[in-house]
Structures are given as C-alpha cells and as structure tokens.
Amino acid sequence: MINFFKKNKPDIQEEWNSKGEHYAKEINEMVEFGEKNGWENWKGKEPEDKRDHLAEEVIRQLKQANIEKRVERFRNDFPPSHSPIISFLEKQSQSIEQLHFINDQKIVFLTGTAYQKRQACLLNNDQTLELDKNINAIGKSKQDNVFAIATESKISTFKSWEGELISEFTLNETANLGITELIPFNDGHKLLIVTSEGIYLVSKNEEKLIHPLNEENEEDWSSNIDMENATLSDDNEFIVVGDQCYDHRILDSNGNTLGSIGPQSSYPHFCLFSKDDSQLISNSCHFYNGVTIGINPDRFIGVKIEAYTESDDYKIIDEEMRVYVGLATRNYYILGDAYGNIKAIDKNGKKIWRHFLGSTISGMTISDDEQSLWVGSSSGILHKLILGKGHRDKHTIGNGNHYEEFRLLIWKNEPQIWKW
C-alpha cells in the first residue's frame, strides 16, 4: 500500500498541474476573446476543469502539509484552484466579511453573516488570532483610521486599532439587529449602521432610521429590507442608502434626502464613492449580473435619475457585474462580484484588470500603499494578493498580473485554519 501511494503521488501532482494549467489557459483565452469580440461571437465550448476526482486527496495532503509545516513546498507542487474543491465548499464554507486594514500586514475580519453567530479574527501576516467572542461587527472610517466595534448593545469607537476610546453608543432600537455593515464617521462621533431591518444614522442621543422611510404613513409599513446597502463619502458630507425595493437615495450628513438614483438593472445592490469623492457609483443587479453607473457630485442635489432611462446625469461604468463589495484606490475601483471575480475599473468605465478567485466576493480591504489586497469570499476562503507582482503559477485566471501570497481555508467544523 505504501509503495502504491508513492508510485501514484507524482501522478496526482502531474495530473493536477497539467489539467489545471490547461483549464486556466482555455478560460483566459475564452474571456479575452469575449471581451475583445463580444460574447455573442464566441462559438467554442466552455472549458471544463476535470480534476474533481483529485480534490479529496489534494485537500488531505494540504492538511498534512499544514501539520508538518511544509505548506510552501506543497503550494509549489499543487497550486490552488477553486473549481475542483467545490464539493468541500458546499459543506464547509462560511462568509468572510467586514475586512479592514490595520497597519503593516495586519487586518481584521469576521466570519459569518449578519444572521449568524460571528467570530472576529485578527490576521497578522499569515497568523490568525480569534478576538472577543462578543464582537458582532467591526467598521472602519473612510479617513483618520477610526475603528468601531459592536457588541450586544454597545458600539465603541477608537482612534486607530486598540487606540484611544473616542465614544460609546448604547443601543436601543438597533440593539438586537444583525449588522450587515458598520461605518463610523471620521471623527468617531456618529455611525452608519446597515441592517436588514433598516439603515440607521446613530449619534450619542439618537438612533435615526434613514432608510426606508414611511413617507405615506402606511399602517402596515415595515422597515424590513433585502439587499440592504449604504456608504459614506470619504469627507462624510454625503450618505447613500438603498435596497432591493427602494432606489438609491443621496442624503446629507444628517440624513436628509438630496436626490435619488433609479436602478439601470433590476435592484439597487451596491454603492461607493471614489477615493477623492469626485464620483459616486451605484450598482443594480439582475440575478448574477448587473449595471453600474457613475454620478458626479455636482448633480447630487435635486437629482432624480429614473429607472432604466438614459440620462446626462450619469455615465455607464460597467454592464456586467452584480457587485457585492468594493473599495476605491487612488486611480480606480476594485469591485467584487457574484461570480467570484474582482475587477479594477476606473471612473470612465475603463477596465484595468480582472482576477478570478471563485465564489461570491464578500469582503475586501487594501493596504495604505495599495500593494497588498485581502479578499474574502462566501466559500470561506481569504486570499492575500500582492498587486502587480506577477503571476505565481500557470493556474491563475485573470489578466491582473497579481501574485497570491497565500489563501486561508476558514471552514466550519474544522480543527484549524488551513493555509494554501
């Protein structure tokens, strides 16, 4: 039996690599053709990754390599891929959310969704530390490095991670709501709390529901929403809120409505300001696809963009992605979609690069020098990429020329986090 395993181990490695390289090459060629010539002109078959039968043994060897502390060697022998291990993801995955950069090569993140019991973790280089189990949400300001930490009925803001306490907010109306996203204002004295039971603007003395609004004073009205999403401008002058059933609305910093943005696909799903606040992007989705438009701030006050209507008030940024998460760098947006892609797109809609990770993208953060990018997915995998360093292997799908330093398999019902 031992001799049989030793005889076949090189065969497993060879098959994993040869089929993986072939699959990545075919996918990259297909996507490049579709982007250049239009997908309607692609007549070939969609490539298939035929390595499912290898997954159980490869994952077994990965775990053994972690225990024996020889992950780097294993990773060189078996470059990671998403498709072959889907059967594992279906059973053990969990969402990796609320990623925030701290400093150096250190970030914080949460496992689980707003509807689940979460676990907050600190990632320092490749070492993970579990934080206080009572933490159920973490947010970071757009500027000035303010962190917000939510526990059962209280949110505290701090000047930097583990820094000086700025303020404490005792919650009432929002005390027991699962927090989809938490965004502290730059001074730490106000909060934007996004939940499936409404979006709130919280100050020391008030928890103000700013979305949705019962403008018709309906008796059976409910603040329950789906696809809830919101953002703050970097200078905190503007708030944007939206959900599946209500248009994106632009608000001032006190929650007063300034304008509205109707979806150019079906449902408002995501919003984000550029790094310099010179543009707001609004994404709406239909199934796994979507449309993203850009609006300049000189149009905010009084704007009313109708759904499915061309207008001089906006420009098309993208017509493919259902955006789940994103961030703004100095030169472009990095957006993560439902298919597991991250894409860099500038304010004019020019596609800078794309990189495929697999599974819906659920969280993202970037270092201050914009060189290191951490991406979480609903598959329970956290990726660390070094942007522009060059592809690490021939299994990479995408044209972004990025180097994956490692990925962590943060799966349910596992004795540890597996590094790959």
The Cα 153–Cα 22 span in angstroms is: 53
Question: Residue range 241-249: average pLDDT?
Answer: 97
pLDDT at 8: 47
Question: Mean pLDDT over all residues of the chain?
Answer: 96
**Helix (H) or strand (E) segment spanning residue 418:** strand 418-419
Alpha helices in 68-193 (DSSP H): 71-77, 86-92
pLDDT at 217 over 90: no
**Any idea what DSSP says for residue 298?**
G
pLDDT at 215 over 50: yes
As a whole-number percent, the residues of the chain with pLDDT over 70 amount to 98
- pLDDT-based confidence at residue 9 (cuts at 50, 70, 90): low
Domain boundaries, the chain: 1-104+361-420, 105-214+221-360
Q: What is the token pair recorded at 418? A: 């597996």
Question: Residue range 130-140: average pLDDT?
Answer: 98
Long-range contact list for 279-282, CB < 8 A, 24+ apart? 279/347, 280/233, 280/238, 280/240, 280/250, 281/317, 281/333, 282/240, 282/242, 282/248, 282/314
pLDDT at 252: 98
pLDDT at 5 over 50: no
How does pLDDT run across 312-327, given as a tens digit for each residue? 999 999 999 999 999 9
pLDDT at 7 over 80: no
pLDDT at 1 over 80: no
pLDDT at 2 over 50: no
As a whole-number percent, the residues of the chain with pLDDT over 90 amount to 96
Reduced to 3 states (helix: H, G, I; strand: E, B; else coil), residue 176 is coil
Is the CATH number of domain 105-214+221-360 2.130.10.10? yes
